[in-house]
Amino acid sequence: MAVKTIEWRDDSVRMIDQRLLPSRETIRIYKDYRGVAEAIRTMVIRGAPAIGVAAAMGVALGLRGYAGARAKARFNVVAKALKATRPTAVNLAWAVDRMGRVLEANLSLDADRLFGRVRAEAIAIYKEDLEANHALGRFGAELLSDSSTVLTHCNAGALATAGYGTALGVVRAAKEAGKKIAVFADETRPFLQGSRLTAWELHKDKIPVTVIADNMAATVLRSGRIDCVIVGTDRTAANGDVANKIGTYPLAVMARRHKVPFYVAAPLSSIDLNCASGDQIPIEERSGLELTEFKGRQIAPKGVATFNPAFDVTPHELVTAIITERGVAFPPYKKSLKKLKERS
Ligand code: MRU
């Protein structure tokens, strides 16, 4: 994709404002960690790996000009602010903690050299995510037949990562391998990551994409037009339970009902072995205004009660395989995920 999701340039962080897509391609520039935290919180940037990269870059910005004990104290403040933005995607805390370990190991450096070191680490996290997506894309592509139609949910594409995408990375790699690939994209209520973002980036790349409303998925699966479902994940537990955008769980149930494989594309940074099962994954609840208003216009009675969880957990029994950059994990996931993670 020509448009970059996030970029470190001239010691500032640039992001495309995903809230405005597909109508406008606006680049936001942040020079301060507070701006980065606000960008994550307000969904200028979203998607688990992308917010991990953003948080790492935010830490680097936050540490500029600090050294020694002052840098340590500053890190605590910056890390707290960044971690408080969104709770479900483990990539965010993972990236912040990794930056913290680099700081610990370099406390003897002066401020300039320390900034250079943490900046290099944030850029490394960006590059590693890009490489992981290409690698998992290649593994995933092998699971697809020469002519495949994939159903996906939310946006697990270039916009949700450093680039290329996880679920859409598999689609892109299959296309690059010469396979004939088409995608059905759930629109993904209420934030519309599917119709706004997935459709936008696939359309831009000339990969055939058909948008459906979420409640049409069962009909499409029943019609026999879908060869497999591929989704991303915000956090996958040690037992293979998968937290992903709300609406993923019903999709997995429907896929099982129609005997369609249900694949999860997950970089190892999204797999959290500290969570034994999905029950331990914190699920973000968002403002009810996302349900009662549409583009600022009231669409439900003012004052009506709402419930707006941003993610759900798909039980591991419904997951056919988990595609990582180190290979494909099959059940039992407790064993296969541990093996892949320990190699990393
Ligand atoms: O609320 P969002 O848009 O950040 O949710 C994103 C998702 O649920 C994605 O599917 C997930 O982060 C995987 S992205 C590779």
Nearest-10 Cα torsion for 29, 31, 36, 37? -150
In angstroms, rounded to a whole number, what is the distance separating the alpha carbons of residues 336 and 151?
Answer: 25
Residues belonging to the active site: 234
Do residues 157 and 4 make contact, with C-beta atoms less than 8 angstroms apart?
no
- The predicted pLDDT at position 182 comes to 98
* Ligand 1 binding pocket mutation candidate from 233, 271, 323 (most atoms within 8 A of CB): 233
Q: From ligand 1's centre to the CA of 314, what distance in Å?
A: 14
* Ligand 1 binding pocket mutation candidate from 16, 21, 46, 311 (most atoms within 8 A of CB): 46
pLDDT digits (tens), the chain, 344 positions: 667 999 999 999 999 999 999 999 999 999 999 999 999 999 999 999 999 999 999 999 999 999 999 999 999 999 999 999 999 999 999 999 999 999 999 999 999 999 999 999 999 999 999 999 999 999 999 999 999 999 999 999 999 999 999 999 999 999 999 999 999 999 999 999 999 999 999 999 999 999 999 999 999 999 999 999 999 999 999 999 999 999 999 999 999 999 999 999 999 999 999 999 999 999 999 999 999 999 899 999 999 999 999 999 999 999 999 999 999 999 999 999 999 999 75
Distances (CA, A) of 222 to 41, 149, 219, 258: 37, 14, 5, 6
Closest to 156 (Cα-Cα) out of 146, 169, 144, 147: 169
In angstroms, rounded to a whole number, what is the distance separating the alpha carbons of residues 210 and 236?
Answer: 28
Non-local CB neighbours of 35 within 8 Å, separated by 6+ positions: none
For 194, which DSSP code?
I
Q: From ligand 1's centre to the CA of 206, what distance in Å?
A: 22
Establish how many alpha carbons lie within 13 A of residue 113's alpha carbon, considering only the half-sphere containing its beta carbon: 7
For 287, which DSSP code?
-
Instruction: Give residue ranges with CB within 6 A of ligand 1.
Output: 46-49, 89, 154, 156, 160-161, 166, 193, 232-234, 244-245, 310
Non-local CB neighbours of 128 within 8 Å, separated by 6+ positions: none
In angstroms, rounded to a whole number, what is the distance separating the alpha carbons of residues 183 and 165?
Answer: 14
Nearest ligand 1 atom to alpha carbon 193: 3
Q: From ligand 1's centre to the CA of 233, what distance in Å?
A: 7
Distances (CA, A) of 90 to 58, 161, 272, 283: 16, 13, 7, 11
Do residues 222 and 260 make contact, with C-beta atoms less than 8 angstroms apart?
no
Q: Where are the alpha helices (DSSP H) in 271-332?
A: 289-292
In angstroms, rounded to a whole number, what is the distance separating the alpha carbons of residues 281 and 15?
Answer: 28
Q: Does the predicted model carry a pTM greater than 0.95?
A: yes
- The predicted pLDDT at position 297 comes to 96
Residue 244, helix vs strand vs coil? strand
- The predicted pLDDT at position 143 comes to 98
* Ligand 1 binding pocket mutation candidate from 44, 154, 262, 269 (most atoms within 8 A of CB): 154
Residue 185, helix vs strand vs coil? strand
In angstroms, rounded to a whole number, what is the distance separating the alpha carbons of residues 228 and 221?
Answer: 9
Nearest ligand 1 atom to alpha carbon 167: 15
In angstroms, rounded to a whole number, what is the distance separating the alpha carbons of residues 291 and 225?
Answer: 30
Write the residue with the smallest CA distance to atom 14 of ligand 1: 156
Do residues 87 and 51 make contact, with C-beta atoms less than 8 angstroms apart?
no
Q: Where are the beta strands (DSSP E) in the chain?
A: 6-9, 12-16, 27-30, 147-152, 180-186, 209-212, 228-231, 235-237, 242-245, 262-265, 271-272, 293-294, 297-298, 311-314, 321-324, 327-329
- The predicted pLDDT at position 2 comes to 63
